[in-house]
Amino acid sequence: MAEGRVDWAASLVEELRKNFLKGKTRSYEWRVGQMRRLIQMIEERESEIMQALSDDLCKSQIESFIQEISMAKESCKLVIKELKRWMKPEKAKTGLTTFPSSAEIVSEPVGVVLVISAWNYPFVLSLDPVIGAISAGNAVVLKPSEISPATSSLFAKILPEYVDTSVVRVVEGSVGETTALLEQQWDKIHYTGNSKVARIVMTAAAKHLTPVVLELGGKSPVIVDSNVNLEVAAKRITVGKWGSNNGQACIAPDYVITPKSFAPKLVDALKSTLEEFYGKDPSESKDLSRIVNSNHFKRLTNLLDDEKVSDKIVYGGQRDEKHLYIAPTILLDAPEDSLIMKEEIFGPLMCIVTVDKVEDSFDVINSKAKPLAAYLFTKDKKLEKMFVSSISAGGMLINDTTLHFANPTLPFGGVGESGIGSYHGKFSFDAFSHKKGVLYRTFGGEASARYPPFTPRKQRVLRALLTGDFVGLILNLIGWSKA
């Protein structure tokens, strides 16, 4: 069966490469046409998309629309609006060594690409990189996550009805199918998920020297200064954590750092906000997603059942395995060696870490792997500047959480353990393009000094040219020397 999968995958890639080489994906008209068809798909199948997201994650319709459907649609619209400008060759400067000449940078598609998407935002995290790959003129295979089976099945059903299937395909399956796909030679692989699988993807890609974009995660911190508007800060942290797929988001706040003296006020504000948003019994709220499956439910309950944090829960902690429900939970000062402080949470649990003074937060963050996102709430401009300059993270946001993901003019990607490469907007186009440098010359402008035999005079001319000694160059060209 494994051999059969590999043969099937090889045949698929060969077919797509043959169709790609025919050149149809390179035209502006084809690329924009695919964007219009994707918009049509999103509009016509919105109710089916929402149902799939509800089946997979119990997402509310408004969360599905705001965080997945509308964002994918806006990505298509941005391509339609900007693609002609993105595709236009970029003029480049030339120097005296190539005079007379002109130069430009041409964006060309890399070829046949593989997109392996994630389960937590299974619609937008599947479609957004595909939009980038198509906008850059590539053939593409989408492998949706089997952990969100309803959305995966929906893509397999509806995407072929709207896109050019000679160069855009959907492949369903699990580990076997993904492994077979990774055996093939791609021109780029875009993977969204966890660092464990990312290492497998990168190892497979290395066999063919295939470049990768890895969108991973990590423990995204939030620093809360004591001078903030507490009501606003609590709302923005709450919606960024529990309003983002109930914490199952790569950029959701993982833990909060705040001064010890301010922690009680922050805890009370978060409790009040959670009750305002989701009621006294959040299990009855229609605005709170559920845990994706029983494996992740067990993983999260293991974090809570760690004896090192049993007395650290200050809010929530309730769970219902039958309905894959874990209440929004806040822990205060969980030990650094506890599981919940060592592992990425990716769920509705959030730790609050206290420090003596807010500046100590930087040492806490820098002692861990570089996160995908880092957040700061403060009115202190000096602290803002220190935060931006001293913390390394994929992206940052001051006085809010998660919204930077929605800004297409910013690159979205990680650093270190949180990822390699970036995308969104033009950065998606660039991620799936090769920037080809082109130098143009005529048959004029011959310089005898570049050709052997290299006489002493030619050597002086070349040395003067390459060291920028323009006076010496002119003197040597007219037969004089500095001496």
Spatial CA neighbour of 63 closest among 262, 248, 281, 187: 248
Q: Do the Cβ atoms of 300 and 349 come closer than 8 Å? A: yes
Taking each helix axis as running N to C, give the angle between helix 46-57 and helix 149-162, from 0 to 180 degrees, rounded to the nearest 10.
160
Q: Is 335 helix (H, G, I), strand (E, B) or coil?
A: coil
Listed in order, strand segments (DSSP E) in 385-481 are 395-398, 412-413, 419-420, 422-423, 433-440
What distance in Å separates the CA atoms of residue 145 and residue 153, rounded to the nearest whole number?
10
* Parallel, antiparallel or unpaired: strands 433-440 and 102-109: antiparallel
Q: Do the Cβ atoms of 351 and 340 come closer than 8 Å? A: yes
Query: CA gyration radius for the chain?
Result: 27
Neighbour-count burial of 74, counting CB atoms closer than 10 A to its CB (0-12 exposed, 13-18 middle, 19+ buried): middle
Reply yes or no on whether 215 is catalytic.
yes
The structure tokens 């690409």 sit at 113
Q: Is 213 helix (H, G, I), strand (E, B) or coil?
A: strand
Q: Which of 58, 76, 250, 351 is catalytic?
A: 250
Spatial CA neighbour of 109 closest among 169, 185, 25: 25
Reply yes or no on whether 58 is catalytic.
no
Q: Which of 63, 68, 215, 417 is catalytic?
A: 215
Total residues found in the chain within this entry: 483
What distance in Å separates the CA atoms of residue 178 and residue 152, rounded to the nearest whole number?
13
Q: Is 191 helix (H, G, I), strand (E, B) or coil?
A: strand
Query: Where in the sequence numbering do the catalytic residues fall?
Result: 215, 250
